[in-house]
């Protein structure tokens, strides 16, 4: 899959998926934004839209490591809710 545009790797399961089918968490300044549009720039991490990948990423502090920042209060719940809605 390497070299194909539009594919991103999930930080939890390390599987590749289409960019539009994954959750994008972006760091903008000192805040985190969940699933912004593709026009926004900043350090990003991608997760599959599965509760297993989200829980794995939260349990292993992968978002904190990849985005190099602390998760704001309530962000974990917002992430879980986004997976339930998708």
> pLDDT of 52-74, one tens digit each?
999 999 999 999 999 999 999 99
pTM for the model stands at 0.86
Q: Is 27 helix (H, G, I), strand (E, B) or coil?
A: strand
* Sign, CA torsion 71/73/74/77: positive
Residue in 5, 10, 32 with CA at minimum distance from that of residue 23: 10
Domains of the chain, by residue range, sit at: 7-85
* pLDDT (tens digit per residue) in 10-69: 999 999 999 889 999 999 888 888 876 667 788 899 999 999 999 999 999 999 999 999
- In the chain, helix, strand, coil percent, each to 5? 35, 25, 40
Superfamily of domain 7-85: YlxR-like (3.30.1230.10)
């Amino acid at each position: 899959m390497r070299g194909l545009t539009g594919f991103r790797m999930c930080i939890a399961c390390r599987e590749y998926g289409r960019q539009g089918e994954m959750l994008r968490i972006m760091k903008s300044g000192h805040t985190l934004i969940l699933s912004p549009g593709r026009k926004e720039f900043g350090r990003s991490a991608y997760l599959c839209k599965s509760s297993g990948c989200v829980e794995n990423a939260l349990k292993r502090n992968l978002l904190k490591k990849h985005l190099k920042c602390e998760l704001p209060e309530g962000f974990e719940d917002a992430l879980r809710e986004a997976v339930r809605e998708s």
